[in-house]
């Protein structure tokens, strides 16, 4: 299998900050040892990919192929790969389906964040498998799902149920797992509690699903785009508020609404001011605030230390805190058993060539998740 040739295919390349993606023909080198080459079938567009286009994702080298919410079929494997096999071997009966996702390093969790922004811009051996017009193109989070074929370390791929619909379960690669896990794993929302979710995009609505399934009795959705409220209510939000409808700061509104602040607050936007507002919205002694939205690169937080001194807990959560290789396939099985249904988050499905239209839908607030099909 290591003799498999270079594949030419289309991919969306971000040549530099501030430019729309351009669809190019790229060459995808065969997988090296402990790497897997995958044919992407479906990929979602997450706000984090937009951060890459805008230059607000930390430590990214350009040109780069973004995308981190995909599902596909293994095309070939490098030496030493044992967890998956090329799809051809399972051909007529059950083509091997695999989900592409971020790796959680279980034995060294502290390396997780420090590695995330640096080495995942290239393969672990610090080289790239993508070339376009004679130039090496960078990888993103090791998985670059905005390419018809992509190469990733075998640690970044997991098998999922053979009959899982790839055009739906691609959301388990990021959006759904991130939001649902932030509620279930990171906050560990308790039955009967009150939750506030700042930002009702694909990730924030997945937090709503998680809070509801954990048995929260009050779920308050907060967004400046009231078009997001209908879906939030459908998924379990008991109240939805728009900060622009109030003169006072939103944290004061939430403290008044609840008496003492919420038990759990989640920032799922990625702005420093709403990160502090979310912290201030939770209960002084027992509240927990979870940072899910990606902080803009180079930003600094400034906040009144009394907010923490008095007893609040502030936590961050990446990909929902799951040990992804073990847990995400189980989440997909839960989906197959109809335990939760993030399909409603998919508002648009487009052919891959219309990727920039997908980004425009996200930027204008008209979509929750757009899934692109190759
Ligand atoms: P999306 O853009 O779909 O949702 C953000 C929502 O926030 C939109 O509905 C906006 O209208 C709303 N909003 C914007 N500004 C405000 C404001 N000032 N007050 C209230 N609401 C506001 O984004 P998404 O759901 O795809 O992603 C949300 C964030 O999560 C984003 O920062 C993304 O980069 C991050 C993220 C984190 C992780 C992780 O592992 N932690 C994984 N993927 C994405
Ligand atoms: Zn994401």
CATH for 108: 3.90.180.10
- Residue 156 confidence (pLDDT): 81
Tell me: pLDDT of 59 over 90. no
User: 115-119, 178-182, 200-204, 238-242 — which is least confidently predicted?
Assistant: 115-119
pTM of the predicted model as reported, rounded to 2 decimal places: 0.93
Q: Which of 53, 208, 293 to mutate to test ligand 1, by most ligand atoms within 8 A of the CB atom?
A: 293
User: Ligand 1 atom closest to Cα of 50?
Assistant: 34
In a domain? residue 326:
no
Question: What 3-state class would DSSP assign to 220?
Answer: strand
Q: At what angle do helices 47-54 and 355-363 cross, to 10 degrees?
A: 100
pLDDT bin (cut points 50, 70, 90) of residue 154 is: confident
The answer to whether residues 291 and 167 belong to one domain is: no
User: 12-21, 31-40, 226-235, 286-295 — which is least confidently predicted?
Assistant: 31-40
- Residue 244 confidence (pLDDT): 98
The answer to whether residues 74 and 140 belong to one domain is: yes
Mean pLDDT of 93-121: 45
The answer to whether residues 158 and 23 belong to one domain is: yes
CB 75 within 8 A of CB 37: yes
Q: Which of 65-79, 257-271, 324-338 has the highest mean pLDDT?
A: 257-271
pLDDT in tens, 27-38: 999 999 989 898
Mean pLDDT of 136-151: 93
> Which is more confidently placed, 149 or 142?
149
Question: What percent of the chain lies above the pLDDT cut of 70?
Answer: 90
Q: Which ligand is nearest to the CA of 268?
A: 1
pLDDT bin (cut points 50, 70, 90) of residue 95 is: very low
The answer to whether residues 147 and 220 belong to one domain is: no
In a domain? residue 276:
yes
Q: In this structure, which residue's CA is closest to atom 21 in ligand 1?
A: 223
The answer to whether residues 25 and 160 belong to one domain is: yes
pLDDT in tens, 183-207: 999 999 999 999 999 999 999 999 9
In a domain? residue 293:
yes
In a domain? residue 330:
no
**Alpha helical stretches, state H, the chain:** 47-54, 109-116, 166-169, 175-181, 202-213, 229-235, 250-258, 272-281, 306-309, 324-336, 355-363
Question: What 3-state class would DSSP assign to 177?
Answer: helix
Which residue in this structure is represented by tokens 């936590």?
315
The answer to whether residues 45 and 69 belong to one domain is: yes
- Residue 3 confidence (pLDDT): 60
The answer to whether residues 169 and 182 belong to one domain is: no
- Residue 354 confidence (pLDDT): 98
> Cα(340) to centroid of ligand 1, in Å?
21
Tell me: pLDDT of 98 over 80. no
pLDDT bin (cut points 50, 70, 90) of residue 254 is: very high
C-beta of 268 in contact with ligand 1 (< 6 A): yes
pLDDT bin (cut points 50, 70, 90) of residue 162 is: confident
The total number of structural domains in the chain stands at 2
pLDDT, averaged across the chain: 89
Q: Which ligand is nearest to the CA of 361?
A: 1
> Cα(202) to centroid of ligand 1, in Å?
8
Mean pLDDT of 1-18: 88
Which DSSP string do the residues of 322-357 spell out, in sequence order?
--HHHHHHHHHHHHHTTS--GGGGEEEEEEGGGHHH
- Residue 105 confidence (pLDDT): 43
What's the CATH code of the domain at 222?
Answer: 3.40.50.720
The answer to whether residues 167 and 257 belong to one domain is: no
- Residue 89 confidence (pLDDT): 32
Domain that holds residue 282: 178-317
Q: What's the CA angle centered on 231, arms 230 and 234, to 5 degrees?
A: 90
> Cα(68) to centroid of ligand 2, in Å?
6
The answer to whether residues 113 and 201 belong to one domain is: no
Which residue in this structure is represented by tokens 């055009």?
167
Alpha carbon separation from 190 to 57, 61, 186, 263 (Å, rounded):
33, 41, 12, 9
Cα dihedral: 319, 321, 326, 332 (round 10): -50
């Amino acid at each position: 299998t290591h003799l498999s040739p270079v594949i030419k295919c289309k991919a969306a390349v971000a040549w530099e900050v501030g430019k729309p993606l351009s669809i190019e023909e790229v060459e995808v080198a065969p997988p090296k040892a402990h790497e897997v080459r995958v044919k992407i079938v479906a990929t979602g567009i997450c706000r984090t990919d937009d951060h890459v286009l805008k230059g607000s994702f930390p430590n990214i080298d350009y040109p780069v192929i973004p995308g981190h919410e995909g599902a596909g079929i293994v095309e070939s494997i490098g030496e030493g790969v044992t967890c998956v096999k090329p799809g051809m071997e399972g051909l007529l009966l059950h083509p091997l389906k695999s989900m592409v996702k971020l790796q959680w390093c279980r034995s060294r969790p502290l390396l997780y964040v420090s590695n995330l922004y640096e080495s995942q811009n290239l393969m672990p051996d610090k080289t790239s498998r993508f070339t376009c017009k004679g130039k090496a193109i960078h990888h993103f989070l090791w998985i670059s799902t905005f390419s018809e074929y992509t190469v990733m370390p075998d640690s970044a791929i997991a098998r999922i149920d053979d009959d899982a619909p790839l055009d739906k379960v691609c959301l388990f690669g990021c959006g759904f797992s991130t939001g649902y896990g932030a509620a279930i794993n990171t906050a560990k929302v308790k039955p009967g509690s009150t939750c506030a979710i700042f930002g009702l995009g694909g990730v924030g609505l997945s937090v709503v699903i998680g809070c509801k399934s954990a048995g929260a009795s009050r779920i308050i959705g907060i967004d400046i785009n009231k078009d997001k409220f209908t879906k939030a209510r459908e998924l379990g939000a008991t109240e939805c508020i728009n900060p622009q409808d109030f003169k006072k700061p939103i944290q004061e509104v939430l403290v008044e609404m609840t008496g003492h602040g919420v038990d759990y607050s989640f920032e799922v936007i990625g702005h420093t001011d709403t990160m502090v507002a979310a912290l201030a919205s939770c209960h002084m002694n027992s509240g927990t605030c979870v940072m899910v939205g990606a902080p803009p690169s180079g930003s600094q937080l400034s906040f009144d230390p009394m907010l923490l001194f008095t007893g609040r807990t502030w936590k961050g959560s990446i990909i929902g805190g799951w040990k992804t290789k073990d847990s995400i396939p189980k989440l997909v099985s839960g989906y197959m058993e109809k335990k939760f249904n993030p399909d409603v988050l998919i508002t648009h499905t487009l052919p891959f060539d219309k990727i920039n239209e997908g980004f425009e839908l996200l930027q204008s607030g008209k979509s929750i998740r757009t899934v692109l099909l190759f």
